[in-house]
Structure 1
């Protein structure tokens, strides 16, 4: 029991309309105005195909305007949702100031061209998010989670400064655009330090394994802040790699390293998710896997696909977090299975849907039509579709006939939508250096494909459930520091 005795009375919120702070209202309207303005800039960019610069300080190109639209839209959703969610909280104005500041900082980051401004915005973004994680005053676990996140973000900022610093020193350029333009002339040793530091900064910020602990410890953040974190903040790693694509694509071996780094997180994220019982931590492990897949797409040379994945994942994860409260229920363990055997018809529908989905993706994007890294990307689309379709087909409700008809009607349009977003993003990114640089297939790509296929079979057949040692290892890998853990449900009520 906690020292406090929280009231259990449930009822309507008191009517304090006259005492409602003005800050949430003003900032919510302002962020939606920013979204409308960003949308206007995006349409202008698409029509004219041009970009705008401010004397080596800022650059507004396709990447900038697309991220402005995404960030302000998610910011508007979070602001609007928080007006009800945070109602009555005594620090509501501080919370809204933090969320709005985060939106502005990210908008500055994606437009920053000067090396110093880019690093400062990166650091500021992390510090604001750490403050949101520890927003609840007097909650020891929240303070510990904020301190942990702050250490990770400071480390990320430090290695980013190192990477851009050595590249800037070697090229003599003080802007990010200048650095990437001269990347080919950087000596190999200096380039390796710079590119390695940039990849490390992206890994930390995107919570890739083994830097995922800060994300899983951040569940003390108010749910709207978690939505903003998983829908926007963790995407910074992908944005960074896209911005410095001419640097990381200098050597094909380094791109293979990015593929491996992304693949490890994509696979482990799926396995880590399987041992979770907490709704928000399950979503956190899902984010680890999705960010790994995003980074992996960048390593394959499809930076536009990585940005499309970033946008679609942001929509999905924002919805899942903001609706996470409806997923909480108290249940007892069930001895029976919630799934049925697929049967011949189920296998046929699942396999056909996945193969047709891969064909649609290839037809609309052109990826997988040549013997390059696009084949691996298309293969992963097929596997992902097959897994999702099989999960749907194996459910006990509704009837088999309804499920088998619904599977292609749902998944094939979803793949078409993904391909369409990919093409739109590619058009918006016209003029941004190295949006697409597909690599030639190598043994490493083959091993990654085998690893994904093996993981798919292990999950689909349930083999991974038979190893107690694996279960304990996965559980330990997702356990954040004990100081950030809530061990008693009443601790939620006390704060």
Structure 2
């Protein structure tokens, strides 16, 4: 069939022989209660400081986001996991993950932060390998666990070094003493923080655990891509007083973010598996998030991770609807935009950039804000071109509706960015724009070159590039399923 004609299919009815001390229904209601409480705290602007804990704008904002995503996943999983032998274990870990992330974003003491970081990884590794009777799931969970334990150990070492060098045991205290750090200590600490953020957010070359994690139940994958990988941005914002001390560290963030942003896009183009396409997309989107932090716009990074979380959670939970059976055809619709299409696309991209500048005040000065605006323009250009260039789309849609929707979407992004900046106003560093350098110019040139290469299908004409990209998207061999009958047993 060429149209998405399918009947609605519901999951199995719950089994009466599968018991759980805390039922999924109870945990689901509790998560939604936490979301409502978090929403109330955000509305009143509640903040407080306690032993080892500092609840600020970032904390409350992340509580709202995390509990909302978790509530959606809990609700979805009640039907998705119905009848499963590991129903209870799944919901325990799902709820535990929610609590440990809420603890992480509120933690100020370095020991509590490090323990929450490690706990978050261990719980997610258990979710990835939740089907213990499935060797591939056990292998995927073990692989993820190795990454997360290494990441937690490195973070613990960095925090111990910072606590020793500053005499402070809280993140806020370390940030206040950042200027007093010696150059070697600062370099080691910031380098370690960047590596931890890269591994957590599955940036290249640390993306193997993410692409090998598809053994996780789809709801767990949704929470992973919508929340877990975002912790890299949270880490950089918490330690922004250290990271922003030197322009070189910020430029490193821009470069590693750009590599993953471009690499993720290219990897996605050669992947045929739907869930791994989404995984490659996450690699690219996390690269954009790290880039925004490197440009000095941490509010933009947080906005990006929130919006990406909504989008990716929806994509994973509706991934079954994306499967469509089609027949090969030799008829190819023209994708040529013509002069009118090219003009419409260009003007829409420029209008999107102008709206973003007007709403956020970024790009009005000669600095890294121009790079941020240029990325918005290029992203709008890429999104609009694919629709405007489709010959089958009516002209009224191509030249009127699409530009209006695109500019409206950019306006929504700009307003969300402003709102996030307001919520983060009590943090030490939220915006730290940098001067333009040759590094920024090279990054923009690389994005433009990649855009042109993808549009012209250069990678499709290079056998070496295609094979290289295809190999880079392959998960660990031990996590690959080779027999459908083996899967059906579990």
Query: Does 2:420 match 1:425?
Result: yes
Query: Does 2:230 match 1:235?
Result: yes
> 1:304 maps to what in 2?
299
Q: After TM superposition, give the deviation of residue 405 of structure 1 in Å.
A: 1.6
Structure 2 residue runs of 5 or longer lacking an equivalent are 1-8
Query: Does 2:434 match 1:439?
Result: yes
Given the superposition, is the C-alpha separation of residues 131 and 14 from structure 1 closer, same or farther in structure 2, using an over 3 Å criterion? closer
Q: Distance in 2 between matches of 1:453 and 1:416?
A: 23
Structure 1 residues 84-113: Cα deviation after superposition (integer angstroms, max 9, x where no partner): 100111211111111000000000000000
Indicate if the aligned counterparts of 2:12 and 2:79 stay in contact, CA closer than 8 A.
Answer: no
Q: Distance in 2 between matches of 1:12 and 1:464?
A: 41
Q: After TM superposition, give the deviation of residue 334 of structure 1 in Å.
A: 4.3
Given the superposition, is the C-alpha separation of residues 74 and 268 from structure 1 closer, same or farther in structure 2, using an over 3 Å criterion? same
Indicate if the aligned counterparts of 1:183 and 1:246 stay in contact, CA closer than 8 A.
Answer: yes
What's the C-alpha RMSD, in Å, of the aligned pairs? 1.6
Given the superposition, is the C-alpha separation of residues 25 and 472 from structure 1 closer, same or farther in structure 2, using an over 3 Å criterion? same
Q: Distance in 1 between matches of 2:93 and 2:18?
A: 21
Indicate if the aligned counterparts of 1:164 and 1:198 stay in contact, CA closer than 8 A.
Answer: no
Query: Does 2:131 match 1:147?
Result: no
Indicate if the aligned counterparts of 2:18 and 2:83 stay in contact, CA closer than 8 A.
Answer: no
Query: Does 2:66 match 1:71?
Result: yes
> 2:6 maps to what in 1?
none
Q: Distance in 1 between matches of 2:355 and 2:19?
A: 51
> 2:4 maps to what in 1?
none
> 1:273 maps to what in 2?
268
Secondary structure at the counterpart of residue 214 of structure 2:
helix
Q: Distance in 2 between matches of 1:411 and 1:402?
A: 12
Scaled by the length of structure 1, the TM-score of the pair is 0.94
Match of 1:190 among 165, 185, 192: 185
Q: Distance in 2 between matches of 1:408 and 1:96?
A: 43
Q: Distance in 2 between matches of 1:174 and 1:274?
A: 46
Q: How many residues get paired? A: 481
Query: Does 2:50 match 1:54?
Result: yes
Equivalence map 1:59-458=2 (5 Å): 59-337=54-332, 340-458=335-453
Q: After TM superposition, give the deviation of residue 471 of structure 1 in Å.
A: 0.4
Q: After TM superposition, give the deviation of residue 327 of structure 1 in Å.
A: 1.1
Structure 1 residue runs of 5 or longer lacking an equivalent are 1-9
Q: Distance in 2 between matches of 1:426 and 1:91?
A: 41
Q: Distance in 1 between matches of 2:447 and 2:311?
A: 23
Q: After TM superposition, give the deviation of residue 18 of structure 1 in Å.
A: 10
Q: Distance in 2 between matches of 1:426 and 1:252?
A: 22
Given the superposition, is the C-alpha separation of residues 12 and 212 from structure 1 closer, same or farther in structure 2, using an over 3 Å criterion? closer
Indicate if the aligned counterparts of 1:258 and 1:295 stay in contact, CA closer than 8 A.
Answer: yes
Q: After TM superposition, give the deviation of residue 487 of structure 1 in Å.
A: 2.8
Scaled by the length of structure 2, the TM-score of the pair is 0.95
Secondary structure at the counterpart of residue 54 of structure 2:
strand
Query: Does 2:26 match 1:31?
Result: no
Q: After TM superposition, give the deviation of residue 205 of structure 1 in Å.
A: 0.5
Q: Distance in 2 between matches of 1:487 and 1:19?
A: 29
Given the superposition, is the C-alpha separation of residues 339 and 309 from structure 1 closer, same or farther in structure 2, using an over 3 Å criterion? farther
